[in-house]
Amino acid sequence: MVDLVLNNYIKTSTYQYIIDKLNEDGALHFSLIDPDPIRQSPNKAAKMAILAEEAGTDAILVGGSTAFDQAYVDKTIELIKKKVEIPIIIFPGGVANVSEKADAIFFMSVLNSKNPYFIIGQQALGSYLIKLSGLEHISMGYLIIEPGASAGWISDAKLMPRKKPKLTAAYSLAAEMFGFKLIYLEAGSGGEKIPSEILKLCSSILNVPLIAGGGVNNKEDARTFVESGANIIVMGSFLENNLLKDKGASLKVIIDEIKETAIESENKKFQKL
Ligand code: 1GP
């Protein structure tokens, strides 16, 4: 479904689309699809993207910690692009995820990694490719909270403690002060969700949009996230387990809940940086 905001984004940028759509809806839902040959073929990924768009998701994220094959990532994005109108954003697990076929890339830094390779190293390696391809890059500070799952292990993160919200809030604020346009809090795929106290504290001090993901599986999870101040909810495993089975029906229930909760809650407005 093409609405006004989407039309406008086609003329401007994906980042502009995110800000405008957030200001219009109050909260967004992004669908994460992993271009991993062990998980799904590009064809299956495209079918999932169509169903997610029909269910009301606001963007498709393509990426994963274990996607190492550039050609496979290209093929997956190319097929999805033919089938959906919403933006496709690369959520890179590494340099091999850079593909000029997408609309944009989250140019992200794992700020609580113990290894500088994940903070600036692989970003430096990918920077020329991104520049030359003209791919829109949206800077994003990424923080991995306990338990962290594969993302935490692969990025060698010093996991943010679940019971110390102030630590994650301080890292988030520092990321905003560095100029990151988005802050992404990740608890790891398929694991325990980010505690509400962390989301509440981060949301209360940040001026940039707060993305949250990991373990969101039902409308109650989604409602809690939005009520706690998450502006964008990312879901991955749920899509893999349910989208094709029920043709997006259960995802629609969750996305409707996100939009309704956002209308009920008082949401801050965002400005483009
Ligand atoms: C995105 O890693 C998450 O932040 C995806 O987590 O697979 O649990 O939805 P799920």
Taking the centre of ligand 1 as the mean of its atom positions, its distance from the CA of residue 75, in whole angstroms, is 22
Give the closest residue (by CA) to ligand 1 atom 4: 213
Burial 162-186 (b: 16+ CB within 10 A, else e): beebebbbebbbebbeeebbbbbbb
Taking the centre of ligand 1 as the mean of its atom positions, its distance from the CA of residue 254, in whole angstroms, is 15
Domain ranges in the chain are: 4-265
Q: Among 186, 231, 235, which is best to mutate for testing ligand 1, by the most ligand atoms less than 8 A from CB?
A: 235
Q: Among 234, 239, 240, 254, which is best to mutate for testing ligand 1, by the most ligand atoms less than 8 A from CB?
A: 234
* pLDDT string in tens for the chain (273-residue length): 456 666 666 557 999 999 999 999 999 999 999 988 888 889 999 999 999 999 999 999 998 766 567 788 899 999 999 999 999 999 998 777 888 899 999 999 999 999 999 999 999 999 999 999 999 999 999 999 999 999 999 999 999 999 999 999 999 999 999 999 999 999 999 989 999 999 999 999 999 999 999 999 999 999 999 999 999 999 999 999 999 999 999 999 999 999 999 999 877 789 888
Q: Which CATH architecture has domain 4-265?
A: Alpha-Beta Barrel (3.20)
- Residues framing ligand 1 (Cβ under 6 A): 32, 186, 189-190, 213-216, 234-238
> Are 230 and 199 spatial neighbours (Cβ–Cβ below 8 Å)?
yes
Ligand 1 atom nearest to 239, measured from its CA: 9
Kindly write down the DSSP assignment for every residue of 186-217, as one continuous string.
E--TTSPPPPHHHHHHHHHH-SS-EEEESS--
